[in-house]
Amino acid sequence: MFFECGHRCKANCHSGPCPNEELCQKKVKVMCKCKRIKKEFHCEIVRKKLAIVECDEVCEKKKEEERILKEAINKQQKLEEELKNRKELEKYQKMFEGKKKNRNRKFYEEEEEISLIKKYRFVFLSVTLLVISFLIYYFLS
């Protein structure tokens, strides 16, 4: 037979309800709220709700770290969601705007044709001076 707490009765076989359910001495593991600390208590103490395991400083630090981690994950998810929404909005707007004409067309200025003399004037001037100086030298000598 079993007690109401779920443990097996140690009394020899008997019929009917178990005698002295309050004397169940089985040990039960009780954990703190964050389930980090485990302590064993007798079943009798647990049934009377006297077995309480409180979280310590390490548990509190662990809870704070988990909270900060969850906030960081939530923040990252929000940023990713905003980016996704922005991309979808741009895609949607492009779909309805149609093709854009290139309004910023590049206008090429036509270059003026520069005459051969203007382009190579320094070369012509140099050659001309050289020829004149050669001729002067030739005729004067």
* Per-residue model confidence as pLDDT tens digits over 38-79: 998 888 888 888 888 888 898 899 999 999 999 999 999 999
Q: What is the pLDDT of residues 86-120, one digit of tens each?
A: 999 988 888 877 665 555 555 555 566 677 777 78
Domain assignments of the chain as residue spans, ordered by start: 22-55, 56-97
Taken as a whole, the chain contains a residue count of 141
CA 25 – CA 21 distance, rounded (Å): 10
pLDDT at 82 over 90: yes
pLDDT of residue 134: 87
Say what the pTM is: 0.44
